Structure 1
Amino acid sequence: MYTKGLVKKSHSCLSALFTFFRYNKLYANLKNTYLSIYCLSFTQKSNHNAEAYFPHRKILYFLLSGSILGLSSTAIAAPQEIDQALKQHIQQEIKQYLKQLGTKSNQQKINLTLAPGLEKQKCDTLIFSRPQANSAPVGRISYRIECTAPSSWQSRATARIQLWANIVVASRTLQRNEKLRHDMLKTESVDLSTLNRDPVMTMDEILGMAVKRRIQQGHAISWSLLESPEIVKRGDIVTLLIRANGFSASAQGKAMENGIKGQQIKVENNSSGKIIEGIVIESGVVETNLKIN
């Protein structure tokens, strides 16, 4: 389908389009490129009038293209524009951080303090960076602002980032060496900027783990406060799985030390009296691989 527009003369097209671009700042920087394109599409329908036929799709394509190009090449000259660009950068960092945690935010706040004098700076290309780029983007963070075009300059900004998400907290005070159960835990929305350690996001992944030190009721559960429970105790009688060159056998042994799953411990073979080392694979079971030449 085509839109039909009448203009008296071809120079009226240039005049009309120039007026459009002049009052629509978003496309102002594109007027020199597209005036000739649109006006050349005019065809004479009579001696007195010229008719222009514009396919709707083509108009939409050019206008959208102009919008995108205009936004990507606009010089960032005002503080609020730098402010918005930095906020978008921070939001991308937050998005990636939440993806790593496997959760979503309930609320977020970003407050910026820009260095004095940024209102006088102009820039087409901005680069943002921060020390400890792999750390969580929460709390008070300093950002380095670098402009690479059309001129080169550097500045700085400070961000105060608050990010609320559901995490696991203690439903009651937890004592050292307690093994975690559902009734000891609950989830709450907490500002992650108030935490010193990475929190646990879901209960199921920590059930059965042991508390390393006392955790107050309502405090966040973090990985550093937990450890895998010892499933083998010193003096326990264990099943010793022996594997060697494709051969396997089992024997009874006595654990010489405590062990958690995956930990290497010493076990005394009850039959031979020899002390060998093996890996705890489950409660009461230790596996060892012997090399026989």
Structure 2
Amino acid sequence: MKKYENLIRHSLIWLCLCSSLPLYSQPESYSPEQLTTLAQQWLDAQLASDTTTVYQTDISSLDPRIGSKHCEQALDFSLSQLLTQRQNTIVIRCSDTTAWQLYAPVRIDEIVATLVLRQNISTGSMITADMLETTSRARRFVRGNLVADANAVIGAKTKRSLSMGQILTFQDLCLVCKGDVVTIAIRDNGLDVSASGIAMSDGSLGDVIPIQNRQSKRTVKAEVVAVNRVSITF
């Protein structure tokens, strides 16, 4: 029995000694496919920190002919340009004694909610809710001041012919058209009043156009703030 107890004791001592010996890890080996995946995961983590924007990415796979890469340290990832640049490059670096770096081209698109037309619309048509639908598009396809809320343009009229599937912008519309009867919101020293007027020219959101007061016949400059609504601040 004592013989077996000594054997067990010596075995335990040996295990303790082995566990206290330093461990020397071998360099990590990465295939081009693994490096591409790691670069994508790193980029996804960077983009996830921006909770207000949706992104779509397309990374080019590293050439398999470069073979596996070894690195004793943690890999370093960075972008060659600002995150806002659509055409970009992920730089993969190893900084150990056999330093190396690789480049993975990537396309980064910001995705935005847009209103698109469900039908062809002729010049001068009034926008109604059934003409519109919301979809997601890459920001690069948007030209002009994007319309995000359908309620902001219901009742507006088109300046030109528009095609089915086209992204709608404020530049395509006159929220106030020449000859329209509009409401003039007037703010003067904290006092808010309103009056009725006639638009003397077309205007889209933010445009300043001449409006004739229907009662006084006086013409004033006012900012277009909504469909058939303008604002003056004194």
* Length-normalised TM-score, structure 1: 0.51
CA distance in 1, matches of 2:230, 2:114: 35
Shift of 1:233: 2.2
**Can you list the C-alpha shifts for 1:159-192, whole angstroms capped at 9, x where unaligned?**
5789x9998665444455655545445578x9x7
Equivalent residue number for residue 156 of structure 1: 103
Shift of 1:77: 4.5
Matched residue SS, 2:175 = strand
Equivalent residue number for residue 76 of structure 2: 126
Larger relative contact order (CA 8 Å, sep ≥ 6): 2
Equivalent residue number for residue 4 of structure 2: none
**Can you list the C-alpha shifts for 1:233-271, whole angstroms capped at 9, x where unaligned?**
223344444433345555554322222344322223456
Matched residue SS, 1:88 = helix
> Superposition pairs for residues 161-180 of structure 1, below 5 Å?
170-175=117-122, 178=125, 180=127
Q: Is the 8 A contact 2:195 2:213 kept in 1?
A: yes
Larger Rg: 1
Equivalent residue number for residue 231 of structure 1: 175
> Superposition pairs for residues 1-293 of structure 1, below 5 Å?
8-9=8-9, 11-12=11-12, 14-15=14-15, 18=18, 32=21, 75=28, 77-92=30-45, 95=48, 100-101=53-54, 112-114=61-63, 117=66, 119-122=68-71, 123-135=73-85, 142-149=89-96, 152-159=99-106, 170-175=117-122, 178=125, 180-185=127-132, 196-197=140-141, 205-206=149-150, 208=154, 216-217=163-164, 219=165, 221-222=166-167, 225-227=168-170, 229-247=173-191, 250-269=194-213, 274-290=218-234
Q: Is the 8 A contact 1:232 1:255 kept in 2?
A: yes
CA distance in 2, matches of 1:33, 1:112: 38
User: Number of matched residues?
Assistant: 218
Higher-helix-fraction structure: 1
5+ residue gaps, structure 1, are 1-6, 19-29, 35-69
Matched residue SS, 2:62 = strand
Identity of aligned residues (%): 19
Equivalent residue number for residue 51 of structure 1: none
Shift of 1:286: 3.0
The CA RMSD measured in Å over matched residues stands at 4.9
Q: 1:141/1:210 Cα in 2 relative to 1: closer, same or farther (>3 Å)?
A: farther
5+ residue gaps, structure 2, are 1-6
Q: 1:243/1:177 Cα in 2 relative to 1: closer, same or farther (>3 Å)?
A: same
Matched residue SS, 1:268 = strand
Q: 1:214/1:276 Cα in 2 relative to 1: closer, same or farther (>3 Å)?
A: closer
Q: Is the 8 A contact 2:75 2:92 kept in 1?
A: no
Matched residue SS, 1:258 = coil
Shift of 1:13: 5.3
Q: Is the 8 A contact 2:115 2:133 kept in 1?
A: yes
CA distance in 1, matches of 2:130, 2:227: 24
* Length-normalised TM-score, structure 2: 0.60
